[in-house]
């Protein structure tokens, strides 16, 4: 079953047609003759491009219409760049132009773009190939027409900004048949001479055809091969040539090239004055610092002169030698005194002398013991005589006689009381009969014990026996015995005598 076609309105149809045209045709180039040119107050341009068999409606909207470099007129053959579209309200098919060129110039432009793309693909225009310009060139070679205004403009700017630079005109034709070859030959000769610090290619403004000599491929390659830096100043700011791309620097105009090549003398003079002031300030600062360092060095040298240092060292050496001699003498005197003391102590502690002293002391103790025993015996005899007299005074016979006399006196007392008294008297009489012997035995035992104590004291007084029991004897350096803590002072040196030798001690203060 056949499907019925969709019904469209005129606006829908025009919209579909416009979309189809714009998607199918990108930017295109159309060459034709202008006819029906219209310039409304809006600033837009409306015209038709035609040839022998057809025409197409065109429009160029503002502001692109104001960028045209040539006036439009009917009958002028142009090359239009733009896009196909459809004006929907009227259904008019038209070309919206982005740019217009004269038909002859368009061919040159296409040739220029093709050559530019090829050389750029080879890397001829890379920034890495560019040579730096000298900061202050001494000689500049200008390749331009000797009769044009370009050389006058360049010389005027150079004399105004930096008249010290040398400028040489290298005359070449700047347009016409064979101009490119002559420019290339002069450029190669100037570069080979090595006379110039920088070369300038300069020309005034003109059409693309007028500037075509500077779009020569051989010239572009010669510029890129130069050892000397090359500045291109061709045409006006909007004019572009292959020489501009191949050169090390492109200047918008010849006058601008002259300003870029040399510094301004007045600015340079101000910079030099500023640098001179800074240099003077730095020089003064460095001189001041050097003078200060010199002064400090002189003061150090004056304070540390070799003669003074030698004299000071000699004086210190003499004082040290004196202190050393004094210390040695004092140490020798002290050592001799200590040696004499030790000799005296040693001599005083000889076994023979100690044995003689102990024997003499034992003899004295024995004599004292014998004397004590004799005196004790004498005292005992006297006390014994007294006791005998007392005993005789209490003889039983005499006591019995006294008792009888007392009994006679007491006969009147009861008999029982007399018997008790008599019994007590008998007991006392028995005790009195035993007392003299017991008393004498007790006294003898007492004297024996005393004699044994004296013997033990005599043995304990022996020095060797005392030291053998773990005791020590403290002596001063001079040999005196230390008997109390009050006999010494803090810091004093002592000797401790032990059973098998001596120890050197020093007294420390207590808390």
DSSP of 201-244, one letter per residue?
A: EEE----TTTTGGGG-HHHHHHHHH-SS-EEEEESSTT---HHH
Indicate the SS3 state at residue 194.
coil
Residue whose C-alpha is closest to residue 145's, from 112, 114, 182: 182
Question: CB neighbours (10 Å) of residue 153?
Answer: 20
Contacts of 44 (CB under 8 A, 6+ apart): 59, 60, 61, 62, 65
The per-residue pLDDT for 448 is 64
Q: How long is the chain? A: 511
DSSP of 271-303, one letter per residue?
A: HHHHHHHHHHHHHHHHHHHHHHHHHHHHHHHHH
What is the C-alpha to C-alpha distance for residues 47 and 66, in angstroms, rounded to an integer? 15
Residue whose C-alpha is closest to residue 232's, from 222, 242, 71: 242
The per-residue pLDDT for 200 is 93
What is the C-alpha to C-alpha distance for residues 388 and 391, in angstroms, rounded to an integer? 5
The per-residue pLDDT for 13 is 86
Residue whose C-alpha is closest to residue 234's, from 216, 211, 217: 211
Q: Are 187 and 246 in contact (CB under 8 A)?
A: no
Indicate the SS3 state at residue 336.
helix
As a whole number of Å, the end-to-end CA separation of the chain is 133
What is the C-alpha to C-alpha distance for residues 146 and 144, in angstroms, rounded to an integer? 6
pLDDT in single tens digits along all 511 residues of the chain: 566 677 888 888 888 888 888 888 888 889 888 899 998 988 899 999 998 889 999 999 988 888 887 788 888 888 888 999 988 888 888 999 988 887 766 666 777 888 888 888 888 888 888 899 898 899 999 999 888 888 898 999 989 988 889 999 999 998 888 888 999 999 999 999 999 999 999 988 777 777 888 888 899 899 999 999 999 988 877 778 888 888 999 888 898 888 888 888 888 888 888 999 999 999 999 999 999 988 888 887 777 666 767 777 788 888 888 888 888 888 888 888 888 888 777 776 666 667 777 778 888 887 888 887 788 778 877 877 777 676 666 656 665 666 667 656 655 555 566 566 666 666 665 665 555 556 556 766 676 676 666 556 655 555 666 777 777 888 888 877 887 877 788 888 888 888 788 888 888 887 6
The H or E element containing residue 406 is helix 396-410
Omega before 328 cis (within 30°)? Answer: no
What is the C-alpha to C-alpha distance for residues 395 and 226, in angstroms, rounded to an integer? 175
Residue whose C-alpha is closest to residue 248's, from 235, 263, 260: 260
The per-residue pLDDT for 400 is 62
Per-residue tokens: 290? 């050097």
Could you read off the pLDDT of 8-58 as tens digits, one per residue?
A: 888 888 888 888 888 888 888 898 888 999 989 888 999 999 988 899 999
Question: Would residue 356 be called left, alpha or beta, if left means φ above 0 and alpha means ψ between -120 and 50 degrees?
Answer: alpha
* Beta pairing partners, 234: 203
Position of tokens 């773990």? 470
Between helices 217-225 and 103-121, what is the axis angle to 10°?
Answer: 40
Q: Are 26 and 84 in contact (CB under 8 A)?
A: no
* Beta pairing partners, 141: 168, 199
What's the whole-model pTM score? 0.42
Q: Are 84 and 28 in contact (CB under 8 A)?
A: yes
The per-residue pLDDT for 345 is 74
* Beta pairing partners, 35: 48
The per-residue pLDDT for 394 is 60
Burial class (CB in 10 A: 0-12, 13-18, 19+), 201: buried
Q: What are phi and psi of 36, to 5 degrees?
A: 65, 40
The per-residue pLDDT for 18 is 87
Between helices 351-393 and 415-460, what is the axis angle to 10°?
Answer: 170
């Amino acid at each position: 079953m056949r499907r019925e076609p969709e019904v469209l309105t005129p606006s829908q149809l025009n919209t579909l047609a416009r979309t189809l045209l714009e998607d199918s045709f990108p930017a295109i180039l159309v060459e034709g003759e202008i006819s029906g040119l219209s310039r409304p107050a809006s600033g837009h341009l409306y015209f038709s491009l035609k040839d022998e068999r057809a025409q197409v409606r065109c429009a160029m909207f503002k502001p692109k219409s104001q960028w045209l470099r040539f006036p439009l007129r009917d009958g002028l053959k142009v090359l239009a760049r733009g896009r196909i579209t459809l004006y929907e309200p009227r259904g008019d098919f038209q070309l919206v132009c982005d740019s217009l060129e004269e038909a002859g110039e368009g061919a040159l432009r296409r040739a220029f773009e093709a050559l530019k793309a090829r050389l750029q693909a080879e890397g001829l225009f890379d920034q890495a190939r560019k040579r730096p310009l000298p900061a202050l060139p001494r000689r500049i070679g200008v390749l331009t027409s000797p009769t044009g205004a370009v050389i006058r403009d360049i010389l005027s700017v150079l004399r105004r900004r930096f008249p010290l630079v040398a400028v040489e005109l290298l005359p070449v034709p700047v347009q016409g048949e064979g101009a490119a070859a002559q420019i290339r030959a002069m450029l190669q000769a100037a570069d080979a001479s090595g006379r110039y610090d920088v070369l300038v290619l300069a020309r005034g403004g003109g059409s693309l055809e007028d500037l075509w000599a500077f779009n020569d491929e051989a010239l572009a390659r010669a510029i890129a091969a130069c050892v000397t830096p090359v500045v291109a100043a061709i045409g006006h700011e909007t004019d572009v040539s292959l020489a501009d791309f191949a050169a090390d620097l492109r200047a918008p105009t010849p006058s601008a090239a002259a300003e870029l090549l040399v510094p301004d003398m007045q600015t340079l003079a101000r910079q030099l004055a500023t640098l001179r002031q800074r240099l003077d300030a730095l020089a003064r600062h460095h001189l001041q610092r050097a003078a200060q360092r010199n002064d400090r060095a002189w003061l150090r040298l004056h304070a540390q002169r070799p003669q003074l240092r030698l004299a000071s060292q000699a004086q210190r050496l003499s004082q040290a030698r004196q202190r050393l001699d004094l210390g040695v003498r004092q140490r020798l005197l002290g050592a001799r005194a200590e040696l004499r003391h030790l000799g005296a102590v040693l001599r005083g502690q000889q076994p023979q002398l100690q044995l003689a002293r102990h024997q003499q002391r034992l003899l004295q103790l024995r004599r004292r013991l014998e004397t004590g025993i004799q005196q004790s015996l004498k005292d005992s005899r006297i006390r014994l005589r007294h006791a005998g007299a007392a005993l005789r005074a209490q003889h039983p016979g005499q006591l019995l006689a006294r008792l009888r006399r007392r009994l006679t006196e007491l006969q009147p007392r009861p008999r029982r009381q007399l018997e008790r008294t008599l019994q007590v008297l008998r007991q006392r009489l028995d005790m009195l009969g035993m007392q003299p012997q017991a008393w004498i035995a007790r006294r003898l035992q007492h004297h024996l014990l005393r004699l044994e104590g004296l013997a033990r004291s005599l043995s304990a007084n022996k020095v060797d026996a005392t030291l053998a029991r773990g005791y020590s004897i403290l002596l001063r350096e001079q040999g005196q015995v230390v008997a109390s803590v009050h006999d010494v002072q803090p810091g004093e040196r002592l000797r401790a005598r032990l059973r098998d030798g001596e120890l050197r001690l020093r007294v420390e203060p207590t808390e």
